[in-house]
Amino acid sequence: HTNYSYTAQRHLFVRLSSGRYSNSPAVFQPLAIYMQSKAHCILSRTKITYTSICSEQRFAWLSFLRTRLDPPRILYKLPASIVENKMSTMALHRTASTKSDTTMACPNGLVKNLPLGGNTKCSACGSHRAEKRRASSTSSVSTTPTSPSFSEADWSPLHNSSQEPQPEYTKVANSLMRAITDYVGHLQNENLPMPSLEPAADAHGVLKHPEGVAARNAVVELAQRIVAMTMDPDMNLLISSLQFHFCSSLKVAIDLKVHEHVPRRGSITSSELAAKVGADESILVRIMRALILKHVFCSPTPGTYAHTAMSWCMMKSPDAIDLLGHRLDESFRASSRQADALALVNYREPDEADVKGFSMAFGTTENFWEVLGHEGEEERAQRFNRAMRAVSLNTLDVIPRMYPFDRIRGDGLLVDVGGGLGQVARAIMGAHRGAGLRSCIVQDAHAGDDAKKQPDVMEANRKLGVELQKHNFFDPQPVKGASVYFLRHIFHDWPDRACVKILKQTVEAMGKDSTLLICDQVVDDEASPQATLYDIDMWSLFGGKERNRSEWEALFRSADERLYIKKVWTTAEAPTTMLEVCLS
């Protein structure tokens, strides 16, 4: 760098400390800048060959910076003016170093060519000797025990010079910076685009490795914590209590089909958009103002609107509109009455017959499924089915890869309990039919009626060996001794007592080699925001719940003491889990 400025210092240090070069050797010639006690800058030209960067090697480099800074200063914290005033010193030192150099190999794996100048200490370890050599001579290596290792907690890019304990706010900020660097590294390793609010078709690709998903979750969690710590607590709480207004504004925008009239590229004025959607401009401006706060649409210039990555999601999939419509209608209304429903049952665990937020919001004693079956509710029922299809699209390709269906035992029969018209069953049979898996029966309470309306679905099922069967999973299971009983997204719709009934009917039909596969959430004890909100959604709509592993185990014991979890199958490609449950 000819002008080693603040930005350049920071960029170099982040690159060296990120550890993203573990798969490809790279050679860097960093300027190791440090302060002496009299505050004058010495620049040392150090050549470091990163043949295989691991955590020990990375922290050895950080150790070098920590031990050689006197007083301790982080690289990019040095004032740019001090650095620039000493550039002539660097040039003179570099000229002298070209005449002769020193080779040093440290036990921690770093190999260095140091300038000849009498300093025989390793820059990383501080205690190893090195032998001088002329350019034409054979290199000589000397090693001694390494210096104490440094953990990642020993370094932070915002560390102050006094080395005093950091406040919690600074610690979280440092952690967020490291998490972002880690996440960017995972995106690059998987050749995925950088996060952006631009409505690009390939933005935010799916991470395939769990480490990348964990890195992204860490960034989100830390960023949310920073926001919570930064905002005034009283104001933050009050603003949080008004978030339901965003939901109502989003529903208005969807009802007006605003997303269809905003161009993908470029922008549209508020008056033009109001004319296209048939609303007063003043109404539209207020609605859009609320959405822009959450980055759903943006305003490039005053009075104009454009798509963001979030608003463009509504254009990519028509089924996504139905999913949003369901949540902004049934779920939104049910949640608004959930507190009243809980008070009515004295805040106890729900039963099937209990009043729920949904039943209070819709003025009925019937459950969600019974209401959708009424005459006059066909459009609501169809929208819900399309919404669930949108959810299924996220896992449709993943489920056949999550479990080795081609290695199932017994007669090779898969029974998809509550499987609708066989969308998931067809995906499984298409990927695994012919090995251990031979045939499939899809059971659903409305299978016969719905199938008559969709002859193309019946033909697709027939080609893949999928048979539809009308069956209510609260009734005795008619298929005995099947290899696999598969229940996907069933149990989170029901309270524990109802789930026990479903399990008992299934267990009575299982043979000694039968396997119970449950495709549902197994939430962590510290659940993600997504899992937490799904749990509240299931609760207010159906009285159901998302369960952690201990809750699943308790549920199985309540149904039959012989049931046990053999294995939990997970994937980073979709937010779903598969429990393999067997009889002891």
DSSP string, 383-444: HHHHHHHHHHHTTTTTHHHHS-GGG--TT-EEEEET-TTSHHHHHHHHHHBTTTB-EEEEEE
* Other CB atoms within 10 Å distance of the CB of residue 226: 15
Q: Burial, 443: exposed, middle or buried (Cβ in 10 Å; 0-12, 13-18, 19+)?
A: buried
Alpha-carbon distance of 369 to 310, in angstroms, equals 31
Task: Identify any residues that bridge with 32 across adjacent strands, giving them in sequence order.
Answer: 44
Amino acid (1-letter code) at residue 239: I
List, in order, residues 6 or more apart from 259 with CB less than 8 Å away. Answer: 253, 307, 311, 312, 314, 315
Alpha-carbon distance of 251 to 401, in angstroms, equals 36
Cβ atoms of 149 and 56 within 8 Å: the answer is: yes
Cβ atoms of 110 and 124 within 8 Å: the answer is: yes
The answer to whether 307 is a known catalytic residue is no
Q: What angle do CA 243, 246, 249 make, to 5 degrees?
A: 150
List 186, 307, 489, 492, catalytic entry: 492
Cα 53 to chain centroid, rounded:
26
Q: Say which residue the tokens 């010495």 belong to.
A: 42
Cβ atoms of 297 and 286 within 8 Å: the answer is: no
Task: Identify any residues that bridge with 570 across adjacent strands, giving them in sequence order.
Answer: 577
3-state SS assignment for residue 121: coil
Alpha-carbon distance of 166 to 159, in angstroms, equals 8
Q: Which residue numbers are catalytic?
A: 492
